[in-house]
Amino acid sequence: MTTHLPTSSLPSTRLSKVALPFSKSWNRAQFTFPKCPRFSIGPLRCAVSVVSEPIQSEKTNNGKPYPAEVSRTIMELSSVGTLSTPTLDGWPLGFGVRFAVDPHGTPVLFLNDATSKLSVNCKSSIHVQFEQYGLRTPQCTIQGTLEKPEDTTALKKLHSVWKKRFGHEVDEDHLFLLSVERVLQLEDFAEDGIWVTSSDYKLANPDPLRDFAERMIEEINTHNREDILRFCNIYVDLDFQVSDAKMLWVDRLGFDVRFRSPQNDVFEARIPFPREVTDEKGAKSSFNCMSQLAWEVEKNFHAAEFEKAKQLKKIEYTGL
């Protein structure tokens, strides 16, 4: 028994049998499954497919978005962070701030008179975290110099960025820019960070699924537990059967899962989509088709003619 994500991308003649809402379940043995559009049932390689011009993240980062793209996504999805700057007596001081980002990912901050006097024209940093399903917290720290634009046109642009993000007017005299000199990106607490150059950060694009990824993850973890277990058991190269699993995040290249072994060890793995997706409809279509194929492989209706994910990360510091 399993369920499927709804998607309007499938033709109506097939949708009635394949893509059902989360809340409904059905028996696959009653149907003969058609091939899903844009998805090769056999042979399928569970890896990122090559688009016309492969980007750096697809070639070097094992099917994950490159850290510059992850950092841009974190900054787009967050609106509060910790600004750290040296005080007049040399002590570092960190305090919470609200921020928006301009089209290049540069943080736009609102500071009152007291804090701005401490920070302007000093080497500073802003640290931002984004919690994923309460289990993982990717974060980035941007280092740069806090600047006060003097040009009227530049100030109006900052005001426009702020109003678009928060929906209200602010005094332009309190808006500041933090130049991006370099960025430190971490996948979670207690993990090593990766330094990202200013140019890589500014050239990267935030993930196209970011605005609905959290909602999709919540729906899948709530209504599709059997599918998540099957994804882990079929698409990840394991020597045990997963006893519990949750999806952590989804992006244009695939999704991250965290699961428990029979020995109660906790692991994370990355399961790539068969090909890159660019919107919610494409992501749901890929989930539906991967779910169908995984069920057929599990029931020995179809051979596992795809490459399984082999990189596992054992989680020592938190649970599931």
pTM for the whole structure: 0.79
Helices of type H across the chain:
12-18, 56-60, 67-77, 113-119, 152-166, 198-203, 210-223, 225-235, 280-298
Q: How confident is the model at residue 304, as a pLDDT?
A: 87
Pick the CATH number of 67-203 from 3.40.630.10, 3.40.50.720, 3.40.50.300, 2.30.110.10: 2.30.110.10
For residue 124, how many C-alpha atoms fall within 13 Å in the half-sphere facing its CB? Answer: 28
* CATH topology (fold) of 12-54+209-314: Split barrel-like (3.20.180)
Cα dihedral value 182, 188, 192, 195, nearest 10 = -10
Q: How confident is the model at residue 237, as a pLDDT?
A: 96
Say how far apart CA 159 and CA 97 lie, in whole Å.
16
Domain with CATH 3.20.180.10 in the chain: 12-54+209-314
Q: How confident is the model at residue 137, as a pLDDT?
A: 95
- Provide the 3-class DSSP secondary structure of residue 254: strand
Q: How confident is the model at residue 173, as a pLDDT?
A: 85
Q: How confident is the model at residue 10, as a pLDDT?
A: 35
- pLDDT of the chain, 320 residues: tens digit per residue: 455 555 433 333 333 333 334 333 334 433 333 344 433 333 443 333 333 333 343 444 778 999 999 999 999 999 999 999 988 888 889 999 999 999 999 999 999 877 766 667 789 999 999 999 888 999 999 999 999 888 888 889 999 999 999 999 888 888 999 999 999 999 999 889 999 999 999 999 999 999 999 999 999 999 999 999 999 999 999 999 999 999 999 999 999 999 999 999 999 999 999 999 999 999 999 999 999 999 999 999 988 889 999 999 999 877 78
Cα dihedral value 184, 160, 110, 195, nearest 10 = 0
Domain with CATH 2.30.110.10 in the chain: 67-203
- Provide the 3-class DSSP secondary structure of residue 160: helix
Contact 116, 109 (CB under 8 A): no
Q: How confident is the model at residue 116, as a pLDDT?
A: 65
Neighbour tally for 147: CB within 10 Å? 16
Burial class (CB in 10 A: 0-12, 13-18, 19+), 229: buried
b/e code 154-177 from CB counts within 10 Å (16+ = b):
eeebbbebbeeeeeeeeeeeebbb
Q: How confident is the model at residue 188, as a pLDDT?
A: 93
Residue 140's Cα: distance from chain center in Å?
Answer: 13
For residue 103, how many C-alpha atoms fall within 13 Å in the half-sphere facing its CB? Answer: 2
Q: How confident is the model at residue 106, as a pLDDT?
A: 97
